[in-house]
């Protein structure tokens, strides 16, 4: 066998295994060193190859696909800084527990650290931001090395998927010539499989029945318990946690990413305005818990984080199937590493139904009062950020996916997006909370989830404008609500806002951009929204249009902080009135 | 002292030291955790703060500033993926030997790996792609800790500058509240300096006179020697190497980045078309050397690399003041680690003037024949990539800086940009040869070097469109020649071009973008060039215009490879005719 045949059989074995273990999509950024892998991948009939020139956006696009499809997605690039551009999305995938299989082509060993072009040190390139790194053996096609490459592929996919999911990195040294031999009839033939290639079955962390019983029985004694749910992907979890809440009569403080704020269930136990009312001292006293059960990622809400911290004297369980350490406030008294759905279903049988609703009703009452008051945002006539988020439940179609940017949008969503029956799936990049790669992640999600709405600010839009090309190249439908307050709106909420010197330069950072131009460059439909009626008609009209649609809503950072404060103050006053003398 | 006073004094000591050791520019990307450092920096009267929202572009912008100013430039960002976005530019800086001081704000220790927002593992974030990493001590203001922070700053800058220059990374954990105390009168007062803060004086690698003499005397015996110069920054090097070439009667094969292809010197020893004629077997035989002396980075030219490889039986010196290993062909027989200028100046005195010019004249003859033939590119009527580069020497003004993109532009420059007296400085990102960050690096350079011309392809332009904002925000003048062949032109020169199946999808990758939109979004002046006359008049008219100016030249990838091949074949035929019977 010559060099090219060996190269081809080694790579074909890898690619066929990749498909075998369930990878259906690969995002490829063009390059020379990755030529053999790219060309072999393009030959596989069951693998979708998506070409994305900017590796930063490409990796976020793959992240979005993996989040939406709940399957590992592979990314492939050439050697050099191309691979370094993957880094932000890899960091996010690692913390957000999203399975990515990162494939980088590299120079062979003799061309490393000797000034060869496009050669950088790619060994452990992403440090401990990947779950697993393998410096692949140079292509060989002995029986053992074919089994090796298949085995590594299976292990990589299993490692990426296994809880906690995350990215893995395989670095492939390829020697020239780089052109594979594609005229082989049986490129991906898998007769060797009968020879016993490994399959990997991975379980989940589970406690023993005895351990579940102990927890269940201990929970009986608490009368003032709360459940907190952050972003979580465990199958069957939502129904299980609602059943548990009902049995315990505990309210569920539901982060926007918990997927509990929309759905066909009754919504009885869903508390969705705590971000607002937990700013109020009296409410916090009134609602003081005696036990806390947390699931999923750390919630978005800072008032909730503070509330949990202020109650660090009570038992606080953190249930984590990924065995991480999700406890920035150092408040957890018990870390419980087991599958979250299994936990809910298992402990429920050890808990008797309790009809003393009084504590749950307190939460319900405050939540309803807060909802009613926040609804006043609707009375604002001018275009405002809070009202936009308040109206989303009404404006978005049934079954929509709503992707939100970081900084202000996710926080406004937390404040203003309340329980509804529309089954709206909410997504965001909340692993590392970056403003980078948001457009790309949303578009990646959009290949699986439609209709798709993305709400983000102007700096976040600017950061990943290059990501828009995916909408054009792959014909993905997306409705973007671009909130343009000409700069970093969140800083107006931070202490530096009271230090006007250099504030605009360092934090306000207005870009003064007319985004219409870039939208049109990508063949998108652009509208500058001028009124609430205009927004309604645009959202409706855009439902019929394919491709990229951007509705720009210009707001004012100073008015925005003013509106938020007035609303929060009003809620706080009402709560204080209600509770005066009660705590 | 309260928390904020301690925070402020610690950071102010760092910032004042940063200025003391010669940093004049810092590129800041807005964020919350970096607030105290950003606010203190903005107070320093001698530090220029440049705000750049997209950290990837920001780091490349700083890279360009450092390359142009030959001073270390600092970059500052917040915690999280922001820092990961710096990675591509850091990788480039490390290989290209450019001093960057990377400052990242981080969560304090108790908020790490516990699910805190925007917290990622930043310790050794860039692996071995930085020369030095320091996890900074949390702010304290004891005498020792103030001396500590000043000392680390001095060491960081010295390490970044010291040969081989490169990036260093300091990670600062900051605890809330993050607002510094800026109303102190003597924020940056340096009376403590008299107490003896450390200054660092770093030497260069130099050989002893005896060692220089040995090399010098041994070179006398060679009649067929060549000097090869790649990109090099050693002060005084150009004059020194020309003097050495003259004494030795060795031709200098001058890479476009050697800065030897333009200048006020006679140009006698400069060979500038070897990339073309070293494709010819007869020329390579005719010019076979018996010794090679190489300076600087590995040259762009692949034919030259092959030529050196084919002559691996002769002595090949690599002179490297940065003590690296610039020898991808494994051809070096002697690695000499000493300052390159010192080398040239020192060995010259041990070499007698030799008047047997015959070998040098062979190079001169072939070079002139090749130049004459390549000049025929001028006869092409349609817009063509080769002709564009051929005409640059004529079209660019005296003293211009010419930044070129990777892939085709730098190669076309190598082929078509010949010796001239205009003192044109040529720059490119040739550390890792990425297509990323090119616009930003050029704009960074443009803050120091004007007039500035950037020639790049459409994929490279696309990759760093966000970088254009610096032209708008900072009012930097730049003339961009955008060669739009709608895709990856270089792949037409690679073996995959003869495998048409999937070629356009995987390698051609047409983007079909109208770049006029994005240019206008950044307030730039755009023109689609329709003829050579149009190009002339546009270049001239744009000389008078400030800001961003983009001249787009659309070409055709198939015609381009055809034109190149015909030209190279013609040169080869003429050389063969000349040399028939001569070798």
Q: For the domain B3-195, what is the CATH superfamily, name and number? A: Thiamin diphosphate (ThDP)-binding fold, Pyr/PP domains (3.40.50.970)
3-state class (DSSP) for residue A290: coil
* Closest to B69 in 3D by CA, of B473, B392, B450: B450
Mean pLDDT to the nearest integer, A563-567: 94
Partner residue opposite A506 with nearest CB, options B51, B54, B494: B51
Q: What is the average pLDDT score of chain A?
A: 95
Q: Does A458 touch chain B (CB under 8 A)?
A: no
> Per the structure block, which two tokens stand in for A391?
């109206």
Strands annotated E in A177-217: none
- The CA distance from B142 to the nearest CA of chain A, in Å, is 26
Residue recorded with tokens 């053996």: A137
CB A572 within 8 A of CB A278: no
In angstroms, what CA-CA distances link A349 with A204, A213, A225, A291?
21, 8, 17, 19
Confidence at residue A376, expressed as pLDDT on a 0 to 100 scale: 95
- The CA distance from A512 to the nearest CA of chain B, in Å, is 9
> B328 and A82: CB-CB below 8 Å?
no
Cα dihedral B152, B153, B154, B155 in deg (nearest 10): 50
With left for phi above 0 and alpha for psi between -120 and 50, is residue A380 left, alpha or beta?
beta
> A118 and B434: CB-CB below 8 Å?
yes
Cα dihedral B214, B216, B220, B221 in deg (nearest 10): 40
**Between residues A154 and A192, the one the model is more confident about:** A154
> B490 and A434: CB-CB below 8 Å?
no
What confidence tens digit (pLDDT) does each residue in A369-391 have?
999 999 999 999 999 999 999 99
Query: pTM here?
Result: 0.97
CB B18 within 8 A of CB B163: no
Q: Does A469 touch chain B (CB under 8 A)?
A: yes
3-state class (DSSP) for residue B315: strand
Confidence at residue A582, expressed as pLDDT on a 0 to 100 scale: 62
Report the Cα–Cα distance between both ends of chain B, in Å, rounded: 83
What are the structural domain ranges in chain B? 3-195, 209-371, 385-554
Phi, psi of A465 (to 5 degrees): -55, -35
The secondary structure of A222-256, three-state, reads CCCEEEEECCCCCCCHHHHHHHHHHHHCCCEEECH
Secondary element (H or E) of residue A125? none
Q: In this structure, how many other beta carbons lie within 10 angstroms of the beta carbon of residue A525?
A: 17
> A115 and B514: CB-CB below 8 Å?
no
How many Å apart are CA A443 and CA A531, to the nearest integer? 27
Partner residue opposite B88 with nearest CB, options A81, A432, A473: A81
Q: In this structure, how many other beta carbons lie within 10 angstroms of the beta carbon of residue B335?
A: 15
Q: Does A345 touch chain B (CB under 8 A)?
A: no
Mean pLDDT to the nearest integer, A173-191: 86
DSSP code, position B300:
S
Partner residue opposite B506 with nearest CB, options A39, A115, A520: A39
The secondary structure of A365-410, three-state, reads HHHHHHHHHHHHHHHCCCCCHHHHHHHHHHHCCCCCEEEECCCHHH
- Chain B residue with CA closest to A179: the answer is B496
Confidence at residue A580, expressed as pLDDT on a 0 to 100 scale: 87
Contacts with A255 from chain B: Cβ below 8 Å: none
With left for phi above 0 and alpha for psi between -120 and 50, is residue B203 left, alpha or beta?
beta
A192 has a pLDDT exceeding 80: no
Q: What residues contact B210, with CB distance under 8 A and at least 6 apart?
A: none
Residue recorded with tokens 């800001």: B547
Contacts with A119 from chain B: Cβ below 8 Å: 328, 432
> B434 and A513: CB-CB below 8 Å?
no
A581 has a pLDDT exceeding 90: no
Q: Which CATH architecture has domain B209-371?
A: 3-Layer(aba) Sandwich (3.40)
* A385-395 vs A532-543: helix crossing angle, rounded to 10: 40
> B120 and A459: CB-CB below 8 Å?
no
CB A519 within 8 A of CB A481: no
A76 has a pLDDT exceeding 60: yes
Q: In this structure, how many other beta carbons lie within 10 angstroms of the beta carbon of residue A310?
A: 15
- The CA distance from B509 to the nearest CA of chain A, in Å, is 8
> A88 and B88: CB-CB below 8 Å?
no
Confidence at residue A198, expressed as pLDDT on a 0 to 100 scale: 87
b/e per residue B128-139 (b: at least 16 CB within 10 A): ebbbebbebeeb
CB A96 within 8 A of CB A429: yes
Q: Work out whether strand A270-271 and strand A291-295 pair parallel, antiparallel, or are unpaired.
A: unpaired
How many Å apart are CA A141 and CA B280, to the nearest integer? 37
Confidence at residue B568, expressed as pLDDT on a 0 to 100 scale: 94
- Chain B residue with CA closest to A115: the answer is B326
Contacts with B63 from chain A: Cβ below 8 Å: none
Q: Which CATH architecture has domain A385-554?
A: 3-Layer(aba) Sandwich (3.40)
Facing residues of A76 across strands?
Answer: A28, A103
Residues of chain B predicted below pLDDT 50: 195
- Chain A residue with CA closest to B38: the answer is A506
> B88 and A92: CB-CB below 8 Å?
no
Cα dihedral A133, A135, A141, A142 in deg (nearest 10): -90
- Chain B residue with CA closest to A502: the answer is B42
> A505 and B117: CB-CB below 8 Å?
no
* A55-69 vs A438-446: helix crossing angle, rounded to 10: 40
Confidence at residue B199, expressed as pLDDT on a 0 to 100 scale: 87
How many Å apart are CA B202 and CA A29, to the nearest integer? 42
Facing residues of A171 across strands?
Answer: A104, A135
> B506 and A30: CB-CB below 8 Å?
yes
Among the residues of B129-230, which ranges form H helices?
A: 143-161, 209-219
How many Å apart are CA A426 and CA A413, to the nearest integer? 10
Report the Cα–Cα distance between both ends of chain A, in Å, rounded: 83
Contacts with B434 from chain A: Cβ below 8 Å: 80-82, 118
Q: Does B444 touch chain A (CB under 8 A)?
A: no
Strands annotated E in A87-131: 100-106
CB A418 within 8 A of CB A444: no
Confidence at residue B371, expressed as pLDDT on a 0 to 100 scale: 97
What confidence tens digit (pLDDT) does each residue in A144-159 have?
999 999 999 999 999 9
How many Å apart are CA B376 and CA B573, to the nearest integer? 14
> A87 and B85: CB-CB below 8 Å?
yes
Confidence at residue B184, expressed as pLDDT on a 0 to 100 scale: 78
Hey, which residues 230-269 in chain B have their CB within 8 Å of chain A?
A: none
Question: Angle CA(A197)–CA(A200)–CA(A204) in degrees, nearest 5?
Answer: 175
DSSP code, position B352:
-
Same-fold call for A3-195 versus A385-554: yes
Residue recorded with tokens 């800083």: A491
Facing residues of A334 across strands?
Answer: A317
């Amino acid at each position: 066998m010559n060099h090219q045949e060996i190269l081809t059989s080694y790579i074909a074995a890898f690619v066929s295994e990749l498909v075998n273990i369930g990878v259906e999509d690969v995002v490829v950024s063009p390059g020379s060193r990755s030529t053999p892998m790219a060309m072999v991948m393009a030959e596989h009939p069951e693998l979708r190859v998506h070409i994305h020139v900017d590796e930063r956006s490409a990796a976020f696009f793959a992240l979005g696909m993996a989040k939406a499809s709940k399957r590992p997605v592979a990314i492939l690039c050439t050697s050099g800084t191309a691979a370094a551009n993957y880094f932000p999305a890899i960091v996010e995938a690692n913390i957000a527990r999203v399975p990515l299989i990162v494939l980088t082509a590299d120079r062979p060993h003799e061309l490393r650290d000797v000034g060869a072009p496009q050669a950088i040190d790619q060994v452990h390139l992403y440090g401990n931001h990947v779950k697993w790194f393998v410096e692949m053996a140079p292509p060989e096609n002995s029986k053992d090395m074919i089994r090796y490459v298949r085995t590594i592929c299976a292990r990589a996919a299993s490692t990426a998927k296994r809880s906690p999911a995350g990215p893995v990195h395989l670095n492939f040294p390829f020697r020239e010539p780089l052109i594979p031999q594609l005229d082989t009839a049986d490129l991906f033939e898998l007769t060797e499989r009968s020879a016993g290639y490994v399959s990997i079955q991975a379980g989940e962390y589970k406690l023993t029945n005895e351990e579940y019983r102990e927890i269940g029985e201990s929970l009986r004694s608490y009368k003032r318990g709360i459940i907190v749910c952050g972003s979580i992907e465990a199958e069957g979890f939502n129904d299980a946690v609602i059943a548990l809440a009902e049995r315990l009569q505990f309210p569920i403080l539901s982060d926007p990413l918990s997927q509990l704020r929309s759905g066909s269930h009754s919504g009885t136990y869903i508390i969705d305005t705590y971000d607002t009312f937990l700013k109020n001292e009296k409410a916090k006293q009134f609602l003081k818990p005696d036990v806390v059960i947390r699931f999923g990622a750390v919630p978005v809400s800072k008032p909730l984080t503070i509330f949990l911290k202020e109650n660090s004297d009570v038992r606080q369980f953190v249930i984590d199937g990924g065995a991480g350490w999700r406890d920035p406030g150092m408040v957890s008294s018990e870390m419980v590493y087991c599958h979250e759905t299994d936990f809910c279903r298992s402990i429920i049988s050890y808990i008797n139904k309790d009809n003393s609703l009084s504590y749950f009703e307190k939460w319900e009452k405050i939540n309803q009062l807060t909802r009613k008051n926040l609804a006043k945002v609707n009375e604002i006539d001018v275009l405002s950020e809070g009202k936009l988020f308040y109206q989303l439940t009404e404006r978005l179609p049934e079954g929509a996916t709503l992707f939100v940017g970081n900084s202000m949008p996710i926080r406004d969503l937390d404040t203003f997006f309340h329980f509804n029956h529309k089954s709206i799936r909410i997504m965001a990049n909340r692993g590392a909370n970056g403003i980078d790669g948001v457009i790309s992640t949303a578009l990646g999600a959009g290949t699986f989830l439609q209709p798709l709405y993305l709400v983000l600010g102007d700096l976040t839009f600017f950061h990943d404008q290059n990501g828009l090309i995916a909408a054009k190249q792959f014909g993905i439908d997306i409705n973007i609500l671009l909130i343009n307050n000409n700069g970093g709106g969140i800083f107006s909420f931070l202490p530096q806002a009271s230090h006007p010197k250099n504030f605009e330069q360092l934090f306000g950072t207005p870009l003064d951009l007319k985004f219409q131009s870039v939208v049109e460059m990508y063949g998108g439909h652009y509208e500058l929204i001028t009124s609430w009626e205009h927004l309604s008609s645009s959202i409706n009209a855009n439902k019929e249009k394919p491709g990229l649609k951007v509705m720009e809503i210009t707001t004012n950072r100073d008015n925005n902080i003013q509106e938020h404060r007035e609303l929060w103050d009003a809620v706080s006053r009402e709560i204080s009135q209600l509770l005066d003398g009660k705590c």
